[in-house]
Amino acid sequence: MNRSLVIVLGTLALGMVMFGGSYAVSRHVGERCLTQPGNDLAWLRQEFHLNDAEMARIQKLHENYLPQCAAMCQKIAAKKMEVEAALNGATNVTPVATQKLAELAALRAQCQAQMLRHFTEVSQTMPPEQGRRYLAEMQRITLGLHEQTEQSMSISAGDMHGHN
Amino acid sequence: MNKENMNPADEKLGALLRASRVSPALPPRFQENVWRRIGDAEAPVLSRSRLSWLDALAALVLRPRFALATVTVLIIAGALLGVRDGSQIARRDAQTQYLAAVAPAALR
């Protein structure tokens, strides 16, 4: 291999190392500087450009909501255990298991409604445009996944009908 | 055979022999072979031009001003891209943290 080729290839390799090193270091530093561990509401401030007064109101709503959310989660976890117990060892779905499943679904719906009410309250403490964006984003994230699941299930069900 | 040693009496015979010489037919694919040889002869010229191009590039990258400018551009580009990606990752992490707090995984 001639000398010029070695120089050109070496320079390219060195350039890639410098670019990669600079990228890795700055990405790490950027990530560390902007991450605020332990602050659940940091995203709201960054994303919706909220001031201190708005953040204080949201913080209060958040603190009121968390115990309600935790209580609902406990109820759902307990109901799930009841469903598992009702299904455990059964060869078919008993009326008791059906009843427990319905109760679990009702609890989940109750929890979801409570969550959406909280999102609405939070959105009302924001400037109108940001509030609309927040509410749309939260509904998209929390309800959109269900829609995706339902859509994928309806597509696969459609495929099955197509094969029949 | 030496020309000086030739017998003048044989001149007639020589003329006869020259007259009877038949010009041979061209071998098969003569023209193609000629072009191939011309191509072979030009090949070193091409490799020389490639070599000079590489030499010029090598000389360019070894120039201090060019090297400094390149290093600066690469470092700045890498840093900008890194900061952009880092902030996106941090934003995604913060969103995940908020969602984990307000929206139980069982509902998402």
Q: Is this complex's ipTM strictly greater than 0.85?
A: no
Which residue, A40, A143, A74, A65, is CA-closest to B100? A40
DSSP state of B107: G
Of the pLDDT bands very low, low, confident and very high (cuts 50, 70, 90), residue A106 is: very high
Break chain A into its structural domains and give their ranges: 1-35, 42-159
Residues of B whose CB is below 8 A from A42: 94, 97-98
pLDDT, tens digit, for every residue of B72-107? 999 999 999 999 999 999 999 999 889 888 886 666
The winner for highest mean pLDDT among A78-82, B8-12, B29-33 is A78-82
Predicted TM-score of the model (pTM): 0.62
Closest CB from B55, B78, B107 relative to A23: B78
Supply the angle between the helices B64-102 and A52-87 in degrees, to the nearest 10: 60
What mean pLDDT do residues B10-34 have?
81
Q: What is the pLDDT of residue A146?
A: 53
In A, minimum Cα distance to B77 occurs at A19
User: What is the end-to-end Cα distance of chain A in Å, rounded?
Assistant: 66
pLDDT at residue A119 tops 90: yes
A42-159 is classed CATH 1.10.20: no
User: pLDDT at residue B5 above 80?
Assistant: no
Rounded Cα–Cα distance for residues B69 and B72 (Å): 5
The CA distance from B68 to the nearest CA of chain A, in Å, is 11
